Amino acid sequence: MLARSHTDIAVALLAKAVVDETQPMAARVTAAQALLDRGWGKAPIQVDVQVRARFDSFLRDVGLAAQWERDHPA
């Protein structure tokens, strides 16, 4: 809660850094990104995954798991 009480000051500081041309561009971009992330949410991350498995192995594993569940009820 204490950190949230400083939200207005922190956002104002970030906004000031974005427009302050005496600041290094990297600092200005970082401040702009922080404002955008908080105002609009972070951009979604796309993850591409490749999985190689034999379907019959998968079916066997699922069958073994189902058998174990039947043999060991909760």
Q: Tell me the domain boundaries of the chain.
A: 4-71
Mean predicted lDDT score pLDDT of the chain: 89
Q: For residues 19 and 12, what is the distance between their CA atoms, to the nearest angstrom?
A: 11
Tokens of 41: 């949410």
Cβ contacts of 70 within 8 Å, gap of 6 or more:
none
- Closest by CA position to 32, among listed 13, 4, 6: 13
Q: What is the mean pLDDT of residues 44-56?
A: 80
- Give the pLDDT confidence score for residue 70 in this predicted structure: 86
pLDDT digits (tens, 9 = 90+) for 20-43: 999 999 999 999 999 999 999 998
Torsion of CA 33, 11, 40, 47, to 10 degrees: 40
pLDDT band, very low/low/confident/very high, at 12 (cuts 50, 70, 90): very high
